[in-house]
Amino acid sequence: MDILLNLPVFILVFALGLIVGSFLNCFIYRLAKKESFVSGRSHCPYCFHTLSWKDLVPLASFFYLKGRCRYCKERISVQYPLVEFSTGLLFVLVFIQNVQTLFVHNLVFALLNIIFWLIVSSILIVIFVYDLRHYIVPDSVIYPAVLLTAVWRLAGYGIFHVFSRNLVINILYSALSAAAFFLAIVLVSRGKGMGMGDVKLAFLMGLLLGFPDIAVALALSFFLGAAVGTVLIAAGKKGLKSEVPFAPFLVSGTFLALFFAEKIMDFYMKLII
């Protein structure tokens, strides 16, 4: 495994993440505009000038152009380099976490599992950014994500004899419990506290994480939401009744639990014992 855990491999995985992150930016923009993301050239959202390859090199183009369009000089949203860098970083973390499956399980399963987690990470990034910008979790993204996750975590694992009956029960229980919890909040608050998009995302989180990681993810999500909300109110950016998108916190909690759940639980247990 050591041969796969070295700097050149990390650089290749990070570069793949940068490229995918660039595509995700395009996908997010075109999804909001209801444009096709499989055809048509990329263009500046201000002057609509078609962008050349020199304008589309992940991270590098943004800094070379000093964050402005080459043609109209309008500022380029900082979302673009942040999404590219975050995707690259997440790809590296996902690879490190799952690379051991190459030596523990069937090679085909291991490769498919890594690809699955890279795809899911990309989808979660889309949900994070889209909800942050537009205050909605798009059904066209969340439903395919739930279907993909259910197929792989249940049927896919079954084909390769990786899971047990207890794992299936755990995953389904976690997904249904997380969704029911958020649905209760939606019903009690009449849609003011949470939206149905959060219910669907919670269901996806349960399928991905299982128990107890889903509990860690939800706890972190509410903690992050409360902390950021307090800061925004203190800074005068939001009021007590202001709407704040919650999916970014759920996505953040998911990633934190995915990579650090065991360490977080160990830390918490040391605090209370």
Residues 174 and 42 in one domain: no
Give domain status of residue 111, yes or no.
no
- Enter the pTM of the model: 0.91
CA–CA separation, 12 and 4 (whole Å): 11
The 10s digit of each residue's pLDDT in 100-147 is: 766 666 788 888 889 999 999 999 999 999 999 999 999 999 999 999
Considering its fold, how many domains does the chain have in total?
2
| Same-domain pairing of 189 and 251 | yes
| Domain, as residue range, for 37 | 1-99
- 207-256 pLDDT, tens digit per residue, is 999 999 999 999 999 999 989 888 888 877 776 666 778 999 999 999 99
DSSP string, 161-223: T---HHHHHHHHHHHHHHHHHHHHHHHHHTTSS--HHHHHHHHHHHHHH-TTHHHHHHHHHHH
Which amino acid is located at 138 in the chain? P
Residues 73 and 160 in one domain: no
118 domain-assigned: no
Residue 193 domain-assigned (yes or no): yes
Cα-based distances in Å from 172 to 103, 252, 254, 258, 263: 28, 22, 17, 17, 24
Residue 206 is assigned to a structural domain of this protein = yes
pLDDT in tens, 140-197: 999 999 999 999 888 777 776 666 778 888 999 999 999 999 999 999 887 777 889 9
Residues 272, 139 share a domain: yes
Whether residues 92 and 154 fall in one domain: no
Same domain, 95 and 131: no
Note whether 149 and 201 are within 8 A (CB): no
Report pLDDT digits (tens) over 43-83: 888 888 888 888 888 999 999 888 899 889 899 899 999 99
Tell me, yes or no, whether 113 lies in a domain.
Answer: no
